[in-house]
A and B are shown apart, each in its own frame.
Chain A
Amino acid sequence: MTVTRDGPSGDPTLFSLDGEDVEFRPGETILQAAHRAGRYIPHLCWHPEFRPHGSCRLCIVKVDGRAGAACTVQAAPGQEVESNSEQMNASRKTLLQMLFVEGNHFCPSCEKSGNCLLQATAYEMGMEGPHFEEFYPDRPVDASHPDILLDFNRCILCELCVRASRDVDGKNVFAIGGNGIGTHLLVNSESGKLVDTDMALSDRSASICPVGVILPKRRGFVIPIGERRYDVKSVAEPDNQEAS
């Protein structure tokens, strides 16, 4: 038996996101189509310039009642997608709290504060506290590079820098190491230090980090706190969904 399904109004190029039609192109994921339509589905590891990764799980939605990551599920006609609901946002808040307690995130002293996608998304999801006990991992910073600081304490393992360095810069400066809760970012050099790589401040991988791991040196507080990207406009706004 073949089931032919059409969009909410019988249109084969539409699916429904929280009750409103979204038009999609063949091959697009739910998140791609929603993003193009200016709709907001929270996300951290997904970026419009890169292929889907599916690790942060912030874009969790229910597709016809079944949970999935909007960045990896293909859009299909007639799908009923539940995203901005109490249940989905509660799941997202818990995922954010997991990311916060896993690393060391001290927003008031972080240069990325106000420009940080993790922080902005947490505000958007109404996260008011860590909920879980912090892990306080020991993650030394790498300040070896003359122009770039690496503060691993804030890493959420989105691999955007890994992908940018490999796919855009063609340098393979980063990789992922370890396993389980010990999974961590690796720097590709004999010393394991950034100074011994060919990374440059102009690389895409130097600007892609959605949190405060990869930061340019000597540029602290050029824009005062209170006037930064997410201080003035919500992450849910169509042109403000990416921090980088």
Chain B
Amino acid sequence: MLYFVANDRGIMTLSHQPAAKGVNVRSEAVDALLSRHGRDPHALVQILRELQESAGWLSRESLESIAGELGLTLAQVEGVAGFYRFLHTRPVGQYRVLFSDNITDRMLGAEPLMADLCRRLAVEPGQPRADGLVSVSRTSCTGMGDQGPAVLINHRHVLTRLDGSRVAQMADLIQSRVPVPQWPAEWFRVDDNIRRADVLLGTPQQPGAAIAAALARGAQTMLDEIKRSNLRGRGGAGFATGLKWELCRDAPGSAHYLVCNADEGEPGTFKDRVLLSRHADAVFEGMSLAALVVGAQRGFVYLRGEYRYLLEDLLAVLQRRRAQHLLGASIQGHAGFDFDIDIHVGAGAYVCGEESSLIESLEGKRGTPRIRPPFPVEHGYLGQPTTVNNVETYCAASHIALGGSAWWAHIGTAKSTGTKIHSVSGDCERPGIYEYPYGTSIRRMLEDCGARDTQAVQVGGPSGVCISAFEFGRRIAFEDVPTAGAFMVFDRSRDMFEVAHNFAQFFAHESCGFCTPCRVGTTLVVKGMDKLAAGRGSRHDIDVLFELDTLMHAATHCGLGASACNPLRDTIVKFRPAYERRLKSLHFEPGFDLDAELSIARRMTGRDDPAAHLENAR
């Protein structure tokens, strides 16, 4: 039996013993939580996340109890809890304020706002206040790049468009212990900001229409249609969707699974948030017809923890679709077509956007990428054939089911058919969501969003490519500039070194820690860039950063490490002056500041005259 008890800090934890004073005992709730997940160890991440929602943090006692109930060891559960950035195995503030730390948030003034909040609340970043009331930290991009600076509170409430007056009021509300749901509703407004709609965002769909079209065609013809459309995955890698479905369908297994990758973690990307807010039916519809093709009866949406606020609405859509016979047994009365969808909420781990890490996480484990091959289409969730596609890919599939492959394939280019949705942020007048046919030039997109005096665009997020002004004629397409959907604009007032520095910090923060080159290399890159930022670097340091890039590209276990140095390499090559003006000297390598090292000797001898300093100092 498990009990909720308040510890000496007033924070709820789990215990084998009921609370001494007989208060706050909610063992039934915990039992219900475990029962709801069938005491399945594969649901561990969900169980820990939900437990934390009610308990505030995960005490060692609670981990031990969960381990016992699920037949796992304490260290296994501790290892999983310690992996996810949003799970806390140490006390955190009752108000956990996380500032989105993407470069676009910083450009909108996030850093001074965070400093101001910390000052007002007398709290150190990353440390809970002594009274346990509040903790303030940074987190990776929360997917609000078009309406930042953004803040996430208690891993649940999203605040957009933060400014000085809101920070001042927020500090007062926290200080007065006003519950977050009672804060001004306007602060939580999340806009869709759809600036340009094409077929995906602009064509209304009747729920069930795409499934009916797929059923009318039959599974094989539907697959042929997807293959003929040349639809390629929208998550970045661009694998042919039809081929993936076919490989999965043909792979032997006791069950086939379907996963929708809504772990939209690439900084500067927020188009899946809008698709899920506005076009959830089209996404679920695409999953359902994919299930028909591959023969899956169970599907998952892996929703990133930052989008937890969407969960209730999405569950309601799923429930409505069950009532409409669009999910569940015998969908649309078609005997044998049984399919349903669960939502798995992530807990803060960018690497889980990689499909094999995502599956590990779905299985209740640390999100470490698997050795591939075998690929998930053969050996995925619970070792069974599993199709993992991006939110936008499923959405596109539903439109292809309705419009047909010929209609889809005539949009875009021959190698990149259809449209792509872009999340535009940074230095432009109209940030937001833009849908264009493939083949659209970067220059055209910059004009449409009202970008002026643009120095560079980071396409596809930190793991994508940095495009400089002389390349703006290039086109968004798998054969030219591929993208997972981020489009961050930097005008000439921006320092591209700062951009690359922010991205380096992101990768170091998000490395899963499994393989040597990524675990150590991402940290070495940050240290190297810190050294340059402090004005202590030399040309040798730039060469070392280049070497790290080469090694990490070749030697890492997964794509996170391989692409971790992309922004570094791009900006060194294209914006080298941004690096060189930080160098102490272009040739000399100062391991340390010799004159500064003499300060102790000067203090001891009571001297500070010019002769007590090295020639070049002062």
Residues of A participating in the B interface, judged by any CB pair closer than 8 Å: 52, 54-58, 60, 67, 69, 72, 74, 91, 94-95, 98-99, 101-102, 132-133, 135, 156-157, 172, 174-183, 186-190
- Residue of A with least CB distance to B528: A132
- Decide if B166 is an interface residue (CB 8 Å cutoff): no
Contact indicator per residue, chain B 513-529, by CB within 8 Å of chain A (1) or not (0): 11111011111100100
- Decide if B425 is an interface residue (CB 8 Å cutoff): no
For A157, what are the chain B residues with a Cβ–Cβ distance below 8 Å? Answer: 513-514, 519
- Residue of B with least CB distance to A100: B520
Pairwise interchain contact A95-B73, C-beta atoms closer than 8 A = no
User: Contacts A175-B79, A177-B75, A188-B75 hold; do A183 and B555 have CB atoms under 8 A apart?
Assistant: no
Across the interface, B519 reaches (CB within 8 A) one of A172, A174, A183, namely A183
User: Contacts A54-B557, A179-B85 hold; do A91 and B551 have CB atoms under 8 A apart?
Assistant: yes
Beyond A157-B514, A180-B523, A188-B74, list 6 extra A-B contacts (CB 8 Å). Answer: A54-B371, A60-B554, A91-B551, A102-B520, A180-B519, A183-B512
- Residue of B with least CB distance to A54: B371
How far apart are the CA atoms of A27 and B524 in the complex, in Å? 37
User: Contacts A54-B515, A55-B515, A95-B516 hold; do A177 and B554 have CB atoms under 8 A apart?
Assistant: no
For B515, what are the chain A residues with a Cβ–Cβ distance below 8 Å? Answer: 54-57
For B349, what are the chain A residues with a Cβ–Cβ distance below 8 Å? Answer: 179
The 8 closest A-B pairs by CB, nearest first: A183-B513, A188-B75, A175-B75, A98-B520, A67-B554, A177-B82, A186-B75, A180-B511
How far apart are the CA atoms of A99 and B544 in the complex, in Å? 17
- Residue of A with least CB distance to B507: A180
- Residue of A with least CB distance to B556: A57
- Residue of A with least CB distance to B89: A177
Q: Can you report 30 residue pairs joining A to B where beta carbons are below 8 Å apart?
A: A52-B371, A57-B516, A57-B517, A57-B556, A67-B554, A72-B371, A91-B554, A95-B517, A98-B517, A133-B527, A156-B516, A172-B73, A172-B76, A175-B76, A177-B75, A177-B78, A177-B79, A178-B83, A179-B82, A179-B84, A179-B85, A180-B508, A180-B511, A180-B513, A180-B519, A181-B508, A183-B519, A186-B79, A186-B82, A188-B73
- Residue of B with least CB distance to A57: B555
- Residue of A with least CB distance to B367: A179
Pairwise interchain contact B83-A179, C-beta atoms closer than 8 A = yes
Which of B79, B85, B514 neighbours the largest number of chain A CB atoms within 10 Å of its CB? B79
Pairwise interchain contact A179-B517, C-beta atoms closer than 8 A = no
For A99, what are the chain B residues with a Cβ–Cβ distance below 8 Å? Answer: 516, 520
For B608, what are the chain A residues with a Cβ–Cβ distance below 8 Å? Answer: none
Q: Which of B371-408 contact A (CB under 8 A)?
A: 371, 373
Pairwise interchain contact B516-A98, C-beta atoms closer than 8 A = yes
Q: Which of B523-561 contact A (CB under 8 A)?
A: 523-524, 527, 544, 547-548, 551, 554-557
For A69, what are the chain B residues with a Cβ–Cβ distance below 8 Å? Answer: 557
How far apart are the CA atoms of A57 and B557 in the complex, in Å? 8
- Decide if B338 is an interface residue (CB 8 Å cutoff): no
How far apart are the CA atoms of A178 and B82 in the complex, in Å? 5
How far apart are the CA atoms of A69 and B511 in the complex, in Å? 19
User: Contacts A54-B371, A179-B83 hold; do A98 and B514 have CB atoms under 8 A apart?
Assistant: no
Give the shortest distance, in Å, between B304 (CB) and chain A (any CB).
16
Pairwise interchain contact B520-A181, C-beta atoms closer than 8 A = yes
How far apart are the CA atoms of A53 and B611 in the complex, in Å? 59
Across the interface, A98 reaches (CB within 8 A) one of B64, B510, B521, namely B521
How far apart are the CA atoms of A73 and B556 in the complex, in Å? 14
- Decide if B88 is an interface residue (CB 8 Å cutoff): no
Give the shortest distance, in Å, between B29 (CB) and chain A (any CB).
24
How far apart are the CA atoms of A182 and B520 in the complex, in Å? 10
Pairwise interchain contact A179-B513, C-beta atoms closer than 8 A = yes
For B371, what are the chain A residues with a Cβ–Cβ distance below 8 Å? Answer: 52, 54, 72
Across the interface, A180 reaches (CB within 8 A) one of B78, B509, B551, namely B509
For B344, what are the chain A residues with a Cβ–Cβ distance below 8 Å? Answer: none
For B513, what are the chain A residues with a Cβ–Cβ distance below 8 Å? Answer: 157, 178-183
- Decide if B321 is an interface residue (CB 8 Å cutoff): no
Across the interface, B520 reaches (CB within 8 A) one of A58, A101, A186, namely A101
- Decide if B420 is an interface residue (CB 8 Å cutoff): no
- Residue of A with least CB distance to B81: A177
How far apart are the CA atoms of A102 and B522 in the complex, in Å? 12
Contact indicator per residue, chain B 56-67, by CB within 8 Å of chain A (1) or not (0): 000010001000
Pairwise interchain contact B510-A180, C-beta atoms closer than 8 A = yes
Give the shortest distance, in Å, between B354 (CB) and chain A (any CB).
14
- Residue of A with least CB distance to B514: A55
User: Contacts A95-B555, A182-B513, A183-B513 hold; do A190 and B64 have CB atoms under 8 A apart?
Assistant: yes
Pairwise interchain contact A132-B524, C-beta atoms closer than 8 A = yes
For B554, what are the chain A residues with a Cβ–Cβ distance below 8 Å? Answer: 60, 67, 91
Pairwise interchain contact B519-A67, C-beta atoms closer than 8 A = no
User: Contacts A57-B517, A179-B85 hold; do A187 and B75 have CB atoms under 8 A apart?
Assistant: yes
For B517, what are the chain A residues with a Cβ–Cβ distance below 8 Å? Answer: 57, 95, 98
How far apart are the CA atoms of A135 and B523 in the complex, in Å? 10
- Decide if B366 is an interface residue (CB 8 Å cutoff): yes
How far apart are the CA atoms of A214 and B53 in the complex, in Å? 38
How far apart are the CA atoms of A156 and B519 in the complex, in Å? 11
- Residue of B with least CB distance to A181: B523
Give the shortest distance, in Å, between B305 (CB) and chain A (any CB).
14
For B527, what are the chain A residues with a Cβ–Cβ distance below 8 Å? Answer: 133
Which of A57, A176, A180, A189 neighbours the largest number of chain B CB atoms within 10 Å of its CB? A180
Across the interface, B75 reaches (CB within 8 A) one of A54, A172, A181, A182, namely A172
- Residue of A with least CB distance to B85: A179
For A177, what are the chain B residues with a Cβ–Cβ distance below 8 Å? Answer: 75, 78-79, 82-83
